[in-house]
Amino acid sequence: MQRRKVTLKLDPNAAQAARLEAWTRLHCELYNAALEERIDAWRKAGKSISYDDQQNVLPQIKADRPEFVELGSHALQQTLRRLDLAFQAFFRRVKAGQTPGFPRFKSAKRFSGFAYPDPAGWKLMQHGGRGATLRIGSGEAALSIRARGRHRFGPDAKPNDITLTRRNGQWLVSVTLRVPDTACARQRTGDQRRGVDFGVTDWATFDDGQTLANPRWVREELPHLAALQRERARKRQGSLRHRRLGESIARLHDRIGNVRRDFVHKETTRMVQQCAVLATEQLAPKNMSRSAKGTVEAPGRRVRQKAGLNREMLSAGLGMAHQMLAYKAEEAGTRLHLSNTRQLKPSQRCAACWEIVPKTLAQRVHGCPHCGHVMQRDQNSALVVLIDAHAAQQIPVRDTPGTGVAARPKPLPRQRGKSRSLTRETPATTPCVERRESS
């Protein structure tokens, strides 16, 4: 059994929406009270309060505050566990020498929602088509809310837990399903061996020169976004018009994210279905999109230019593409090879003679002074990672007309302390469906 998530859009009526808002406020109140208890216990007595200590007090809280009874014990426990995870993450980062922020109190309007960690206290009923009903609670206090969306994993998929989220005035429910392995597998339609280089100029460039254009979702909406932000800046903060314009800006960002996710899902699915071997390089979008402003003592250079480049890299969703390729390749039985970027240096290495040819970011054509090999820069990088994938699996390199690469190049020198390139493979190649679906 494997776990997959499906997100459904809820359609509560006015009374149901008010109940969900009230429940969210109660969960927020519990979260803040538990956080305050931990802080006061440490300040006044030097005592650490654990999750078990706070969970054992829940029966007394429900006795003193009857409104908490209808929320369900498991949902209340999950809210306390959410706070405990925040503290665990805080102390883990402190031990690692980082400077994390201490867990903070949350306002009711910024508290995202609540969750049921197991199948108790709720039931999801699928009605066929795209209709469903989510029943929360029991007895007279139960809510039966209409939902839109469906999953395609068949009747054998069993719901395991749910998370209700409030976003931009809408309610969503994310359901975790336990799915049989046979329902997760994907049918592969081709046996190609391809290298791909992800970037900003072209979203993807393959070793044969084929490219996928970068839709540049954020850049296309920047004029509209700037107009909304200017209009909101003219309104009095806290007014009705200021709030409505803020909601419009949030909906625009949400739409950009949905369009990006849909594009990346479709393209990564097509890649793993067509390829038996898919090679690319490891990427660290967080490091790549760091600000260049520097410090007061050592200020950065070309800060605004780097900010624009960072926006384009984050808009392209490169990290999202790698995550999707990882699980989809496993489901399709595609061998996904991730080359170690720092060791291999795909953008600086010549695919023909395997020598390092330093280039600036502005140089978009690779020209090797050692062997005379000339190729578009991203295509050369895609060919380098494909060669690395072949060498890692000891598969004969296929003939590539016009490049002079017909045999395996000389191996890379071993470097201690650096991780090797990774290869993921799974032999299963049976029919399957999408891992994550949205309403």
The pTM of this model reads 0.82
* Residues 77-107: tens digit of each pLDDT: 999 999 999 999 999 999 999 989 999 999 9
Report which secondary-structure segment, H or E, holds 98.
none
With 0-12 / 13-18 / 19 or more C-beta atoms within 10 angstroms meaning exposed / middle / buried, residue 311 is middle
Can you tell me whether residue 318 is helix, strand or coil? helix
DSSP letter at 288 equals H
At 351-372, the pLDDT tens digits run 999 999 999 988 999 999 988 9
Amino acid at residue number 119: P
Task: Return the SS3 of 129.
Answer: coil
Give, in order, the Cα–Cα distances in Å from 340 to each of 73, 280, 288, 378, 392: 47, 9, 15, 16, 12
| Chain segment 113-138, per-residue pLDDT in tens | 999 999 988 998 877 667 889 999 87
Region of residue 354 (left: phi > 0; alpha: psi -120 to 50; beta: else): left
What average pLDDT does this structure show over 59-82? 95
Measure the CA–CA gap between 257 and 254, rounded to whole angstroms: 5
Mean pLDDT of 11-22: 94
Helix boundaries (H) for 289-376: 303-316, 318-332, 341-344
Lowest mean pLDDT among 8-12, 154-158, 165-169, 334-338: 154-158
Q: What letters, b where the CB count within 10 A reaches 16 and e where it falls short, cover 398-429?
A: eebeebebeeebeebeeeeeeeebeeeeeeee
What is the per-residue pLDDT for 252?
96
pLDDT in tens, 192-210: 999 999 999 999 999 999 9
Predicted confidence (pLDDT) at residue 181 exceeds the cutoff of 90 = no
Residues 357 and 366 sit within 8 Å (Cβ to Cβ): yes
Confidence of residue 394 (pLDDT cuts 50, 70, 90): low
Counting residues of the chain whose pLDDT is more than 70, the rounded percentage is 89
Cα end-to-end span (Å), the chain: 24
What are the structure tokens assigned to 112, written together? 């995202």
Q: How far apart are CA 394 and CA 383, in angstroms?
A: 16
Q: Where are the domains of the chain?
A: 2-181, 192-424
Q: How far apart are CA 70 and CA 407, in angstroms?
A: 69
- Residue 421 has what pLDDT? 54
Kindly list the distances between the CA atom of residue 190 and the CA atoms of 52, 156, 209, 272, 325, in Å, as whole numbers in the listed order: 53, 29, 19, 9, 16
pLDDT band at 435 (very low <50, low <70, confident <90, very high): very low
In this prediction, residue 64 has a pLDDT band, given cuts at 50, 70 and 90, of: very high
Query: What is the Cα–Cα distance from 265 to 436, expressed in whole angstroms?
Result: 9
Write the CB contacts of 69 (distance below 8 Å, at least 6 apart in sequence).
62
Q: How many CB atoms lie within 10 A of CB 238?
A: 7
Helix (H) or strand (E) holding 173: strand 170-179
SS3 category, 274: helix
Residues in the chain: 439
Distance of CA 62 to the CA centre of its chain: 37
Q: Which residues contact 184 (CB under 8 A, 6 or more apart)?
A: 2, 4, 153, 331, 432, 433, 435
User: Which of 235-244, 287-296, 402-411 comes out lowest in average pLDDT?
Assistant: 402-411
Which two tokens mark 92? 């883990």
Strands 275-281, 335-339: parallel, antiparallel or unpaired by DSSP? Answer: parallel
Place of tokens 């190609």: 192
What is the residue-wise DSSP string for 393-429?
A: HTPPPPPBTTTTB-SPPPPPPP-TTSPPPEEE-----
Q: Are 358 and 352 in contact (CB under 8 A)?
A: no
Beta bridge partners of 194: 278
Q: Where are the alpha helices (DSSP H) in 333-376?
A: 341-344
The residue behind tokens 């994907």 is 186
Q: Can you give the pLDDT at residue 213?
A: 95
Structure tokens at 328: 């989809």
